[in-house]
Every structure is written in structure tokens, then in C-alpha cells.
Structure 1
């Protein structure tokens, strides 16, 4: 048997195994499996999964796909979300506190979510009423809604608006304090944010 034939067989086998694993995890989500606490799920696919209330706390979720998944009230506390894709996902009232790494957030919904200490890069996302205290927001942030969000202690020094120079984001009613670090020249009062002292 030639080396090319062996290589082709290995590639086909790897593809089949990967597809089977992807299918099995997607099937678990559809079948109601929601306890993934402390599991290593690196590279798994939960796209379009129904995962409301699922427990991913302390799990390793590197490069996991949750595109268009419903994750309301899901628990990601302490999880490693390095390279996670939340494109189009609904994380309303989810707990993402103390997560590690940076996820891909495009058209994601984090309304009323707990996002303490998270490193955020996002476009076209909703954070209405979310608790983002002590988080970091950096990179080009476009068309995001932070209305009513708690931004006290948030570091936004590395945040940039769109290349055209206009801020497409919404900040009305967002809370900030002396520890909130805004981008240079940014006036939070001018965009409707409200100064509020720390609860400490």
C-alpha cells in the first residue's frame, strides 16, 4: 500500500472521528444534557444548541463553537473561553464571571448577564443591564448596546470606535465610577452614561 494511500486513509479516518464527536456533542445538547462542569470540551461544537441553564463552570472551552446557541441563564463561571465563538448566541442572564481568555462576540446577546473580569472584544452585541464590573473592553467596538450596564471599574483604555471615528455604540444609563477607565478624550456624560460611586 503506497504512502499516499495510507495518508489519505488517515485523513478520512480523522475527518470521520471529528465529525462523529461534533455530532455527539450537538446531540447531547439537543437531548437535554446540560451538566458540563469541569469538563475538557476543547474544539467541540454546540452550534444552534438549546442550552438554557447549562453548567459550563470551570470547564475548558477552548475553540468551542456556540454560534446561534441559546444559553440563557447558563453558568460559565471560571471557564476557559479562549477562542470560543458566541456568534449570534443568546446569553441573556448568563454568568460569565471570572472566565479566562477572550471569546469571539459578534451579534451576541449578553443582556443582564454577569460578566465580572471578562476580556471583551465585540461587534454588534447587546449588553443592556449587564454587570461588567472589573472587565476589560478593547479593540474596535462597533454597534454595541451598553444601555443600563454597570461599567464601574471597567478598563476601556484600549477600546476604539469605528475607523470612521464616530461612536456607533449606545451608553444611555450605563453606570460608571472613578475607577472606570475610558478611552482618551471620551466623554461619558455626553453619551448618557451616569456617574455612580462604588458599592464597596
Structure 2
């Protein structure tokens, strides 16, 4: 689809927000509202989206090279695989946006808000940009003390991330890769860690009450000084050493007898399930 003006875009969007594969090169669609518009695989090279409201928009595999995105609201937008080479993202809102495999080479991210934006090892950042301390979530991220309560982090790549003292109570970390992550002192009460990779993670002194660790991989993980394991479900957990298993089984009867509110098993039975599986 070819569009020549913002008016044409608005009319088409109002009829159907799915404008996949559109040619919008150089178009001016600044300061308008296009909630959840789908412009995946489109060409917006050199387009002007200054202060445009694009919450929940889909720009996956889209060419946004050289685009003006100053102050644009891209919260929860899908920018996976997008080409943002040389784009101006000054003061852009990218909170919770999906940035996996995106290319930000030579982009301007000054003042951009990246809290809980998701990146991966394939994301290309501008040279010298301190993305690990930007509040974004990905490999090696520095999220010390971050407030991530109930955050949707399912399948997130957090290998080697620093999550010391972070707040992850109720967070959905199912299938997440937390290999080598530092989680000491984190609040993980009621967190969903089903199938998560916690190999060599540091879980010392975490708050773990009610966490769901079914089928998680704890090979080489450190679990020292945990105050309580009440209601933690260890069913089919992988990689627990005999010493760690014995240590967990030595917690108080109150801890071991507490039921997990979601999986409906108690901690002691879940440990026995692991042993006999």
C-alpha cells in the first residue's frame, strides 16, 4: 500500500489498523494517534513520527532508518527486527517495547525511556550507549533493585544479569534464561519460574516463599541463607546437588508443609517428587 499523506493513513487506519507492508517513505505522520497500528514489514525510511502516539504498534521487520521518532510514544510496541539505523529517538517512550534483533546503529537515544524494554544478544545498539544500565531487560542488564513485581518476563534472556535486591514478586519468568544471573537478596515471592534456566545463578538470601520452580534447571545454582522456602514448588527441578537437596529438606516442618497456592502441592512433596522422578 502506498500513502501520500497523514489524512490517507488515518482514514485507512480507521477502517483497518493492519497496514502491513505499506510504503510510507518520507511521510509526515507527526503528532497523531495510531494506537496498535500494524505496520510490520513496511518502509518508513526518513518518515516523520515526531510525538506520534504509537502505543502497542507493530513495527516488526520495518525500515525506520533515518526516521524522526522524537518524543514518540512506543510503549509496548513490537520493534523486533526493525531497522532504526540513524533514527532520532530523542525522548522517545520505549517502555516494555520489544527490541529483540533491532538495529540502532548510529541512532540517537538521548533521553529515551527504556524501562523494561526487551532486548537480546542480536540487538545492535549505538556505539557507546550504556544499554545495560538503561532499565532495559536483556543479557548482562544491570537491574539492581529494579521494581519488576508481576512483570511479564516469560522467555526473557537475562543471562548474566545483575538482579541483586530486585523486586520480582509474582513475576512471570516461565522459560526465562537466567543462567549466571545475580539474584542475591531479590524478592521472588510467588514468582513463576517454571522451566526457567537458573544454571549457576546466585540465589543467596532470596525471598522465595510461594515461588513455582517446577522443572527449572538449578544446576550449580547457590541457594544459601534463604530464610524460608514455605510453599516453594520444586517438582521435577533439575540439577540439585545431594547437599543442596538435603539442606532444603532440613527446613522447618512449617516451611515444608506449606502448600503452593497455584500448583496445589506442598514443598516437602515437591522435593520428594524430584527425588523419585
Note if contact 2:13-2:19 (Cα within 8 Å) is conserved in structure 1: no
1:106 is matched with which residue? 90
C-alpha distance in 1 between matches for 2:22 and 2:90: 25
2:41 is the counterpart of 1:54: no
2:80 is the counterpart of 1:87: no
- Decide whether aligned partners of structure 1 residues 23 and 113 sit closer, same or farther in structure 2, where only a CA change above 3 A counts: closer
Structure index of larger Rg: 2
* 1:81 positional shift: 1.2
Note if contact 2:59-2:78 (Cα within 8 Å) is conserved in structure 1: yes
Q: Output aligned runs, 1:34-45, within 5 Å.
A: 34-45=17-28
Higher strand proportion, which one?
1
* 1:22 positional shift: 3.5
- Decide whether aligned partners of structure 1 residues 89 and 69 sit closer, same or farther in structure 2, where only a CA change above 3 A counts: same
2:119 is matched with which residue? 132
Note if contact 1:124-1:144 (Cα within 8 Å) is conserved in structure 2: no
Note if contact 1:64-1:84 (Cα within 8 Å) is conserved in structure 2: yes
- RCO comparison, higher one (Cα < 8 Å, 6+): 1
2:178 is the counterpart of 1:196: yes
Structure 1 window deviating more from structure 2 (136-145 vs 111-120): it is 136-145
Give the number of equivalent residue pairs: 154
- 1:146 aligned to 134, 152, 157, which one? 134
* 1:29 positional shift: 7.7
CA RMSD of aligned residues (A): 3.6
- Decide whether aligned partners of structure 1 residues 171 and 65 sit closer, same or farther in structure 2, where only a CA change above 3 A counts: farther
Note if contact 1:54-1:73 (Cα within 8 Å) is conserved in structure 2: yes
Note if contact 2:34-2:54 (Cα within 8 Å) is conserved in structure 1: yes
Give the unaligned 5+ runs of structure 2.
149-156, 167-176, 181-195, 198-277
Give deviations 1:18-45, integer Å, cap 9, x for gaps: xxx4453465488576332101111111
Note if contact 2:143-2:163 (Cα within 8 Å) is conserved in structure 1: no
Give deviations 1:136-195, integer Å, cap 9, x for gaps: 112354899722x222289xxxxxxxxxxxxxxx854497535x9xxxxxxx789x9xx9
C-alpha distance in 2 between matches for 1:124 and 1:144: 15
TM-score, normalising length from structure 2? 0.47
2:246 is matched with which residue? none
Note if contact 1:77-1:95 (Cα within 8 Å) is conserved in structure 2: yes
C-alpha distance in 1 between matches for 2:139 and 2:132: 17
* 1:129 positional shift: 0.8
SS at match of 2:7: helix
Give the unaligned 5+ runs of structure 1.
1-20, 155-169, 181-187
